[in-house]
A and B are shown apart, each in its own frame.
Chain A
Amino acid sequence: MEIQGEAQFEQEVLKSDKPVLVDFWATWCGPCKLVAPLMDWAEKEYGDSLKVVKINHTPNPEIIATWKVYGLPTLMVFKDGQLVEGSHREGAVSKPVLLKYIQQHVPTTVKV
Chain B
Amino acid sequence: MAPCSLSLHTGRAARPSVASRASPRSLGSGASRRALVVRATTENTTTDAETVTDKNLELMRHFSEQYAQRTGTYFCVDKSVTAVVIQGLAEHKASLGAPLCPCRHYDDKAAEAANGFWNCPCVPMRERKECHCMLFLTEDNDFAGREQHITHEEVVEGISHSH
Contact = CB atoms under 8 A, between A and B. Distances in A.
A28 B81 contact: no
Contacts of B87: 28
Contact of B103 (A61, A65, A71, A94): A71
Interface size, A (range):
20 to 34
Nearest to B78: A34
A28 B105 contact: no
A34 B91 CA distance: 20
A28 B104 contact: no
Interface residues of B, number: 23
Interface string A63-75: 0110001111100
Contacts of B133: 29-31
A91 B132 contact: yes
Nearest to B85: A30
Interface string A57-96: 1000100110001111100000000000000001110100
B143 A92 contact: yes
Contacts, number: 70
A38 interface: no
Contacts of A29: 84-85, 88, 102-103, 133
B132 A31 contact: yes
Contact of B134 (A27, A30, A61): A30
A106 interface: no
Contact of A34 (B81, B83, B107): B81
B76 A30 contact: yes
A26 interface: yes
Contacts of B91: 28
Interface of B: 76, 78, 80-85, 87-88, 91, 102-105, 107, 132-135, 142-143, 162
Interface of A: 24, 26-34, 57, 61, 64-65, 69-73, 90-92, 94
Given A26-B104, A28-B91, A91-B132, 19 more contacts: A24-B105, A26-B103, A28-B88, A29-B85, A29-B88, A29-B102, A29-B133, A30-B134, A31-B132, A31-B134, A33-B80, A33-B162, A69-B105, A70-B104, A71-B104, A72-B104, A72-B105, A90-B132, A92-B143
